[in-house]
Structures are given as C-alpha cells and as structure tokens.
C-alpha cells in the first residue's frame, strides 16, 4: 500500500543517460502539464550534466505546451527571418515556434533546412550572445536518414593535447553569419572569399559555461571561420585540426528520431549536425529557442 506522503509527492522523473559522452532520456513526464518546481530543478540539473535531454512519447504535445515547457528554461527567442518565402501556415504560427521541415505546401516551404545534410554547427554563434538552447519536437519522421548527431564540447576541449590547449588559450575566432545550417546564403549577405572579411561575432575558442563553470571548445561553424590575427593559412590549419578533433565519433551521440520525441540541447556546450534524407519522404519538426543571457 502507498503511504499518503508518497501519494502527495510529485511524480518522480527518471534520468537515464544514453551511455554516450552526452545525452539522457527523461522518463515520466507529460510535457503538456506545467512543470512543478521540483521537476523543473531536476530537469535543469540533468540538462547541465548531460547537455542534451530527450523526452520520448510526447505525441499529444501541443505547440502551446511546447512553448510553455521551453519557457521553464528561459525567455524564448522569436523565430528568425527565413532565407526564402515560406508557406502561409508557417507565417501564421506563434512567433516563438519555428518549423524544421522539407515539406512543401503549394510549392512553398513549410519549414527550414530542407532535406540535405546540415553540417556540424552551434546555433547562431555569429551573434554576440548566442541562444542558450533549443527544443525540437518530431511530428513526422522519415523512414531512414535525418538523424541528428550531437558532440560534447567539454570533452572536445578536455581531450585536446596539452600543447594545443595552451596554443588556443586566449585566441578568438570570427563566426560567419552569411549562411544558414543548410548552407543557404542569408538575405543581405555576400559570398565570403577571404575569411578575414567574414561578418559575424568574434568569440573565444575556449569558453566558460555560464552554469557549470566548465571550459569547452567553441567552434560555431567551419565555413569562413577565421582565427583573429593569424595568417590565413595558419588559421585554416589550426581550425582543421580542432574540427577533426571535436567531431570524432567517440565524442558524439546520435539521435535517431521517433514521432513524439522532444530533444532539448544546451547550445553553449554542444554542436549538432543532421544527416540528409530521401527528399520524397517527409520530416516535420517544431522548434523553440531559449534566449542566451551571456556572451560565451
């Protein structure tokens, strides 16, 4: 028999690490229900520790529910201006909801990023204060491909050879704002031909996490990146070395999507990429973005 105290206690959440260098499943949560304070604290702790949280089986989640859940972790950003005209459905969504999809309605995209590969990146580090994180909610999933990989940028820093750690201490890098994660040129930008001319925020190569205080590697995206003050050749070579190190499979975890999955990543200590998938199949995800509060 359950005691009265047990009945009064909020449902306990189970945090189940993936076994990879990052990521954990959270079980026992109906995301349509507002979070209790204890639950929110458990999730914040788990997020800081595991960097990416996955909530399976959220098929009934509404867009309001997704926004409300996301707001428990900070103010939400409005969705960015898309790089091409979007469907009416997209324009009519609440401003805090973005769509990641290859689906087209009357010839116009219902969401961003299409069906190609999205190269490794951290979201919007070309802004001075990049977002804290994002939630992606899978409503339609292709039968194959379209998986999302995450890389642990604490581990990327910690496993660098000592000499390399010292070499990059204090170095800063320009993060290119000209192209989105699908490689499309943003409105108002021109092709970069010399990385020293790249437009975007300058970020330290090593950043300190606002919550955990741990150091991590901050790379953003590879294309058009430039380490300030180095000859271009040297900057290219050093960036190539760091990128090869940070994206080694043993530092990553792959999310193989199921309908009803919600994945929430800490954008300030991870990178992610997406596999391409068959354009004749459908992938539909709703997305919220939690605003950053500090420079990295």
Whichever of 123 and 176 has its CB closer to ligand OGA, that residue is: 123
Question: Which uninterrupted H or E stretch holds 284?
Answer: strand 284-290
Using DSSP's 3-state secondary structure scheme, residue 208 falls into strand
User: Which of the ranges 45-53, 74-82, 176-184, 212-220 carries the binding residues for Mn ion, by CB under 5 A?
Assistant: 176-184
Q: State which of residues 53, 86, 118, 264 lies at the interface with ligand OGA (CB under 6 A).
A: 118
Q: Could you tell me if 268 and 292 are in contact, meaning their C-beta atoms sit under 8 angstroms apart?
A: yes
Dist CA 49 CA 46 (whole Å)? 5
Whichever of 181 and 255 has its CB closer to Mn ion, that residue is: 181
Whichever of 173 and 285 has its CB closer to ligand OGA, that residue is: 285
Footprint on residues 238-277 left by ligand OGA (CB under 6 A): 272, 274
CA 11 vs. chain centroid, Å, equals 28
List the single partner that 136 binds among ligand OGA, Mn ion, none, CB under 5 to 8 Å by kind.
ligand OGA
CA 212 vs. chain centroid, Å, equals 18
Please work out the total of residues on this chain that contact ligand OGA, with binding judged by CB under 6 A: 12
List the single partner that 87 binds among ligand OGA, Mn ion, none, CB under 5 to 8 Å by kind.
none
Footprint on residues 201-240 left by ligand OGA (CB under 6 A): none
* Sequence-distant (≥ 6) Cβ neighbours of residue 131 within 8 angstroms: 77, 123, 124, 267, 289, 290, 291, 292
- Classify burial at 60, counting beta carbons within 10 Å of its beta carbon; exposed 0-12, middle 13-18, buried 19 or more: exposed
Closest by Cα among 70, 87, 4, 86 to 31? 70
Whichever of 276 and 295 has its CB closer to ligand OGA, that residue is: 276
Q: State which of residues 42, 180, 181, 247 lies at the interface with ligand OGA (CB under 6 A).
A: 181
CB of 285 to ligand OGA, least distance (A): 6
Whichever of 39 and 115 has its CB closer to ligand OGA, that residue is: 115
Closest by Cα among 122, 90, 147 to 286? 90
DSSP class of 197? G
Q: Could you tell me if 281 and 254 are in contact, meaning their C-beta atoms sit under 8 angstroms apart?
A: no
Dist CA 250 CA 253 (whole Å)? 8
259 phi and psi angles, rounded to 5 deg: -55, 135
Give the sign of the dihedral formed by CA 293, CA 204, CA 207, CA 51: positive
CB of 272 to Mn ion, least distance (A): 6
List the single partner that 287 binds among ligand OGA, Mn ion, none, CB under 5 to 8 Å by kind.
ligand OGA
Footprint on residues 75-114 left by ligand OGA (CB under 6 A): 100, 113
Asked whether position 123 contacts Mn ion by CB under 5 A, the answer is yes
Footprint on residues 262-291 left by Mn ion (CB under 5 A): none
List of residues contacting Mn ion (CB under 5 A): 123, 181
Site of interaction with ligand OGA (CB under 6 A): 100, 113, 118, 123, 134, 136, 148, 181, 272, 274, 285, 287
């Amino acid at each position: 028999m359950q005691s009265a105290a047990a009945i009064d206690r909020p449902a306990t959440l189970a945090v189940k690490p993936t076994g990879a260098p990052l990521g954990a499943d959270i079980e026992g949560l109906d995301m349509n229900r507002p979070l209790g304070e204890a639950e929110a604290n458990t999730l914040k702790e788990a997020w800081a520790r595991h960097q990416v949280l996955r909530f399976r089986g959220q098929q009934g989640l509404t867009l309001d529910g997704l926004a409300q859940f996301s707001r428990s972790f900070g103010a939400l950003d409005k969705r960015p201006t898309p790089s091409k005209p979007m469907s009416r459905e997209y324009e009519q969504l609440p401003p805090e909801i973005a769509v990641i999809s290859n689906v087209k309605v009357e010839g116009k995209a219902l969401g961003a990023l299409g069906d190609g590969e999205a190269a490794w990146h951290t979201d919007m580090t070309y802004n001075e204060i990049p977002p804290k994180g994002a939630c992606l909610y899978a409503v339609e999933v292709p039968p194959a491909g379209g998986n999302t990989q995450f890389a642990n940028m604490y581990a990327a820093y910690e496993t660098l050879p000592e000499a390399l750690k010292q070499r990059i201490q204090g170095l800063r890098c320009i993060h290119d704002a000209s192209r989105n994660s699908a490689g499309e040129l943003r409105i108002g930008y021109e092709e970069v031909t010399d990385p020293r001319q790249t437009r975007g925020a300058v970020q330290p190569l090593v950043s300190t996490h606002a919550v955990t205080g741990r150091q991590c590697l901050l790379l953003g995206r590879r294309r058009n990146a430039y380490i300030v003050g180095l000859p271009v050749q040297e900057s290219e070579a050093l960036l190539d070395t760091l990128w090869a190190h940070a994206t080694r499979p043993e530092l990553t975890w792959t999310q193989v999507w199921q309908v009803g999955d919600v994945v929430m990543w800490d954008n300030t200590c991870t990178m992610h990429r997406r596999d391409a998938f068959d354009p004749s199949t459908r992938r539909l995800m709703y997305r919220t973005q939690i605003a950053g509060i500090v420079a990295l």
